[in-house]
Chain A
């Protein structure tokens, strides 16, 4: 499980963020000792840091600068300072991404996922049971049987796979699709899911995606 450190001095925001991350399959820790922030980061050694700019003792940009001298841990700046200058500055100090408050929780999760994927090893071939999924080529393969997926179907399958055995809401799927420049509407999402289902059926996984009423879908 990936460990995420939250550096945020607003307790209520930190607490809710923690809850959001935990329910999305991360282990999150809220930094308590801001005075020794850098030392704490090394002690906790997280996989990713969510760093606010307005924090006590040392401003987030300074902390990032100091951190970058010794560590390349992925850092996402999270701030209510919504201007280009701060963003450019943070990125030049070595931040991996920059998100402004208030943020859409789904988008925050996607950006965290993207940074973790970018910094980790991403597999060209994903596996689901006996099924091989070739993301770039848009192909799923089981034994000799090969089926082509459209870009939208691949995005949906990939998202479901990344959240296997968990309920995925339509909202999350939609956000991920739009985040990949596929601006589809509700009907199209329904159509895409039923097409994906029939393609999975072709390779022998007819009941892989289940619908949970009023909640979403789940890949079993």
Chain B
């Protein structure tokens, strides 16, 4: 709060005061009143006016600078009302009351939205469970009647299943509510489940699934196995989608078990990612150059995966050289707390 601007705001008061002051002084002169009395009156008048102005200025300055600096310092500016004291001057009180009301209605509004999001998420979860029933039936039917339905049918059903799962995990990962359970999981089990799930497509596309047993067997990480399976599934789907048209395509999975962390590395020798696109691959709906070439890319898979990793406390990174390889690193922290207790 600048003093000069404060004075400018008080222009009418100062102007009127000066007007009246000169009127009084000229009246004093007209009545030939003693000069020393005029001087004393002037001093007193000016002293009182300047004092009132200063008192008002400092009161307001304290309140407003406090308010503004707290707004700056807070992550959520709307909480500022909790950090300041109720002012004593009148227009401050009005402002405080107005902020309070605005805050309250905003809270109600966001609460409402939160409920709506929560409701919608619940509905999505329920809908997905429902839709999985006819999907299961279709998969069983196509399996039981191989004479009538060929492999194409199960390939399409698998795609359908993948898209349905993507919605499920999007809903789960976007929600503030904790929807996962972290426990000790054997990496080899997750790798197996993901492999089995994608076996048909891997074989169909002649991509070798190479698992480094030496580094992955007997290695456990702290995670939610369902979530990790989904994340690996997305990565492998991408590797399949962006494979190179060569004979020896592969996806190689290995792990590095260190003292404080375990890193899972998924590498393929696909078409890779352009350096300029690399920074954005985890962004929502980013499809980049590869998406343009291959089409049918939603740009959601890696975005959801990154979100999920963040929630689970894992780190996910990508490295790629165009036309050579893509490597994804997922790093799991170890819980040393329990080690210490031992």
List chain A positions with a Cβ less than 8 A from chain B.
Answer: 10, 12-13, 16-17, 19-20, 23, 54, 80-85, 87-88, 101-105, 107, 171, 174-175, 178-179, 181, 183, 185-186
Stretch at the interface among B7-15, B79-87, B130-138, B294-302: B130-138
Interface centre among B136, B179, B196, B227 (most CB of A within 10 A): B136
Whether B257 is near chain A, meaning CB under 8 Å from some CB there, is no
- Inter-chain contact A101/B192, CB cutoff 8 Å: no
- Inter-chain contact B192/A10, CB cutoff 8 Å: no
Question: Within 8 Å CB of B200, what residues of A?
Answer: 171
Stretch at the interface among B115-123, B208-216, B313-321, B326-334: B208-216
Question: Within 8 Å CB of A88, what residues of B?
Answer: 181, 183
Assuming A185-B206, A185-B208, what are 12 further A-B pairs, CB within 8 angstroms? Answer: A13-B140, A19-B140, A83-B180, A84-B181, A84-B225, A84-B226, A102-B138, A102-B139, A102-B161, A174-B203, A181-B211, A183-B208
Whether B224 is near chain A, meaning CB under 8 Å from some CB there, is yes
In whole angstroms, what is the CA distance A66 to B217 when docked?
37
Residues of B in contact (CB 8 Å), total 40
Question: Within 8 Å CB of A174, what residues of B?
Answer: 199, 203
How near does chain A come to B81, taking the closest CB pair, in angstroms?
39
- Inter-chain contact A82/B226, CB cutoff 8 Å: yes
Interface residue SS majority, chain A: helix
In whole angstroms, what is the CA distance A185 to B206 when docked?
8
Question: Within 8 Å CB of A107, what residues of B?
Answer: 196
* Partner of A10 from B133, B143, B210 at Cβ < 8 Å: B133
Interface centre among A10, A102, A103, A181 (most CB of B within 10 A): A102
- Inter-chain contact A16/B144, CB cutoff 8 Å: yes
In whole angstroms, what is the CA distance A84 to B169 when docked?
13
Known A-B contacts A83-B226, A101-B132, A174-B203; the reply to A179 vs B192 at CB < 8 A is yes
Top-10 shortest CB links A-B: A16-B140, A80-B132, A84-B181, A102-B136, A183-B209, A105-B143, A101-B136, A80-B129, A102-B135, A12-B137
Question: Within 8 Å CB of B203, what residues of A?
Answer: 174, 185-186
* Partner of B224 from A54, A84, A175, A186 at Cβ < 8 Å: A84
* Nearest A-chain residue to B203, judged by Cβ: A186
Whether B195 is near chain A, meaning CB under 8 Å from some CB there, is yes
Whether B98 is near chain A, meaning CB under 8 Å from some CB there, is no
Interface residue SS majority, chain B: helix
Question: Within 8 Å CB of A81, what residues of B?
Answer: 129
Question: Within 8 Å CB of A80, what residues of B?
Answer: 128-129, 132-133, 136
How near does chain B come to A30, taking the closest CB pair, in angstroms?
13
- Inter-chain contact B140/A84, CB cutoff 8 Å: no
In whole angstroms, what is the CA distance A84 to B226 when docked?
6
- Inter-chain contact B144/A20, CB cutoff 8 Å: yes
Contact with A along B123-165 (1 / 0, CB 8 A): 0000011001101111111011000000000000100010001
* Partner of B136 from A23, A103, A178, A185 at Cβ < 8 Å: A103
Whether B188 is near chain A, meaning CB under 8 Å from some CB there, is yes
Contact with A along B164-203 (1 / 0, CB 8 A): 0100100000000001110100001000100111011001
In whole angstroms, what is the CA distance A107 to B188 when docked?
17
Known A-B contacts A10-B137, A13-B136, A178-B192; the reply to A104 vs B183 at CB < 8 A is no
* Nearest B-chain residue to A103, judged by Cβ: B136
